Amino acid sequence: MKKIFKRMLSIILIGIVMLSFVACNGTSEKNNQSSENTSSIPKEINFGILRVPNDETIAISNGLFDKYFEDKGIKCNYIVFDSGSDANKALASGSIDFATMGNTNAIIALSMDLDVEMIWIHEVLGEIEALAVKNNGEINNMEDLVGEKVATPFASTSHYILLNALKDAGIEDRVQLLDMKTPEIVAAWERGDIKAAYTWQPSLGVLLKDGKMLISSKDMAEKGFITANVEVVRKEFAEKYPDIVSDFISCLTEAADIYRKDPQKAADIISEELEIPAEEALLQMQGSTWHTPGELLEEGFFGTKGSPGAFATIMKDTSDFLQDQKSIDNSPSQEEFNDYVNPIYIEKSLETGIN
């Protein structure tokens, strides 16, 4: 009986050891899979971009995306969108991973539950975006717009600023607004169908050839209506490839440093990429404000993860306005915006010190 008992005990002990091995092996595999999810790299990245004079355009033209991504074997695809509305559709379908857009369209993305987060501010808009009117002496102030048609891309930063400018002048119900994309605005202007339009560069520059600037986003920012071009990323992508997202910010920072250190060099790069004169490229870049990562982590913008900055509040205020205008069905809560304006990738970029 003792031999039988010892044999049974041995079998039980072997079984326990085997089960422990399987469990440990399973845990190890899960840990490896988790590690792969956060450290592996994608085969390609799809960037939704705007053809505007900003840090991203410099990074693309100057080969910085090659340095940060393609040299690692990652293919970069650049999909141009005329507005954030089209970019949001692409985000909804999962066909792009990153997207540049005005902060109003970033608000719309959150209100639509697109499962994206805001990770960067490319530039705070100033005279790069403005209300242009025909230079024929007919329109000299906001009140002269009464009864006129004013074109702008709806649900854009231009639309938001225009609505507030009209409201500030007390004529919001006495002007006919036309929803047009930027190429349509230029075509309508050249045909003489419209005498006024609120748009951004480079279409704004075309209008100003025979027009003048009546009011700009810089003027409205001084009244508290701040707009910016921002970057959003799909959360699923960011959670799987956090290092790629922080590298992206490092790439943009290096590009912006070219402009900060040598504006003329940056203008030459933009000129070649957008096929516009260098002096025009420089003028457009000077029409906005580019902030460093450190500045974006200050309380006026992103703040930190534990202490959200003022830009989340600006986004909420803008969101409430868009809801009042029926541009969006619901305005997300302040808590949702605090989570949405996410500083962790800027913090990670500064920690790695790649740039």
Is the CATH code 3.40.50.1580 the one for domain 129-221? no
CATH class of 40-124+227-352: alpha beta
202 sits in the region (left: phi over 0; alpha: psi -120 to 50; else beta) called: alpha
Q: What percentage of the chain has pLDDT greater than the value 70?
A: 88
pLDDT: which is higher, 84 or 174: 174
Least confident of 109-118, 262-271, 323-332: 323-332
Topology agreement, domain 40-124+227-352 and domain 129-221: yes
- Cα separation, 122 vs 173, whole angstroms: 33
155 confidence band (pLDDT: 50, 70, 90): confident
Strand partners, 99: 48, 232
pLDDT of residue 325: 86
36 confidence band (pLDDT: 50, 70, 90): very low
pLDDT of residue 30: 39
pLDDT of residue 185: 98
Q: Write down the pTM of the prediction.
A: 0.83
40 confidence band (pLDDT: 50, 70, 90): confident
H-type alpha helices, the chain: 2-39, 55-61, 64-68, 84-93, 103-111, 157-169, 182-191, 203-207, 217-221, 235-240, 242-261, 263-274, 278-285, 293-296, 310-324, 334-340, 344-352
pLDDT tens for each residue of 181-219: 999 999 999 999 999 999 998 899 999 999 999 999 999
- Has residue 15 got a pLDDT over 80? no
Q: Can you tell me the mean pLDDT for 261-274?
A: 97
Least confident of 1-5, 87-91, 320-324: 1-5
pLDDT of residue 39: 52
Closest CA to 94 of 239, 248, 282, 233: 233
pLDDT tens for each residue of 213-251: 999 999 999 998 999 999 999 999 999 999 999 999 999
Token pair belonging to 140 = 């000299």
Q: At what angle do helices 310-324 and 103-111 cross, to 10 degrees?
A: 70
Q: In the chain, where are the structural domains located?
A: 40-124+227-352, 129-221
pLDDT of residue 353: 72
Q: Quote the mean pLDDT of the chain.
A: 89
- Cα separation, 12 vs 249, whole angstroms: 56
pLDDT of residue 232: 98
28 confidence band (pLDDT: 50, 70, 90): very low
- Cα separation, 193 vs 187, whole angstroms: 9
Q: Could you tell me if 273 and 60 are in contact, meaning their C-beta atoms sit under 8 angstroms apart?
A: yes
